[in-house]
Structure 1
């Protein structure tokens, strides 16, 4: 039986595809390639170019490939942009999820792993976020992810659907050459782009109550994240119970200055970050406990900050090459 990976041509989704293949699972990818790349999908994996808003295409894919479960990684993921484009975000993330759930019900598919987000928490008033921390999203993106979780839970109460949602913070690194984060809004690619363009990266605020005065954020390696998606799918396929929500986090995090220092060391590009005032609404520290996921989903932080930066940089440099996808060592 096959698992369908929505958004499987994206940065996170393509790593999930690789993890599933390495775990002996058959997969089919559905992606409209609005932010994904066809060459992120292995040549021997079926790629259906379609939006998750197209229920007929979803149903046909489910029937054609005998889909038994879905990892739902498709969606509009830019929190800042979502403030300017709320209707687009809700169409992609809420209507899209509802359309997927209807197609799954119609096709008798009863297993779902949902890629959710730490944006459901907003700006929590605790240093370490757990699964019981109240969800108070502060952007249409965060709201749409929380509504997606609600939709899934509601459908599960009225059907045989088994499911879990994985909430994670800043996903970085690369597990395979050529699979890289192309987001124009995430810290690692932003700094890489600045350095390769001769622009000085910026730190916003150096007077926070943290060890070095800069904000502390949680970073997790995409390959570690993908492995826990695989384990979640395997456990649902085996009929094992999973919690409705898991956080995938380090429990500690790293400061912005630590990230900048590590990027300077790894890239061998010398720079001194420009210092700007704090941005409104930036909390001093946010990190998530991964204890529950460690218990159930083999969640382990296998990579330190240096290996996260190094694998990101290597994959970025390899992105323009014609070499086949292969493992990226730390």
Structure 2
């Protein structure tokens, strides 16, 4: 999943209307980026995942938004990206059935995306909210469960999701168990009771594999700059028995810190990803990434890339190239 790319602040690209759009792995940040994707996709390393996040694509269609190709003709957004080398898309799924992360919405959206020939994947949030480092609350229905019962509930949730997608004719190739679980998952603190947290992750991962043996499993962190903590987390997870295929690392330069000093360069991210992969034994996927295209009053997080549409585009091109060229990064 080359860059779970959050382009919630994406802009109008040439010939396309892409406002407030989330894209993971790769993004359409303009014609130059699309041409770049087309070129590198021809020489893509075998097994490299290049995809787009499409959580709210269905809602945008429902609001009447349209996309256009370079000739100005109306076209499905994912058809445009598929033609330029995109291979996957991913959606977040909450335990709560309501909203754009609920199962029914994700199913409808995924069926539409799959018509473009893209391969689906999912974040299983194990929460009623879309999760991030600081948002890892327990689902309301599970809030009174002890750790072992939460693990049982997580197993049932993951099993139902994987089974129902298969029944709908969808074969999800990647499942992330949680998202950015540095501090907690499902309301269970990693610091206070890591064993219970790992029990929950393992239960969900095992349930997915039971129902779809071809699916790959990812566990992910948000603090890519803390190499020691990341290596400890991934190594301990595997020692516990979590059978993961990928280590996910989010990379948001506007909120990244290393050793107390802001050093959010692409080079630093790749260096750390390679160290984490080498020491944990897991290949890395950039499971969340974005670069701002406008200023909210702050300075540019990386002086090489100004806070403009062109700066965002150049950052994306360089980030994609760095991921492609790293033997440790697989998407």
Give the shorter-chain TM-score range: 0.3 to 0.5
Query: What TM-score comes out, normalization by structure 1 length?
Result: 0.36
Higher share of residues assigned strand = 1
Query: What TM-score comes out, normalization by structure 2 length?
Result: 0.36
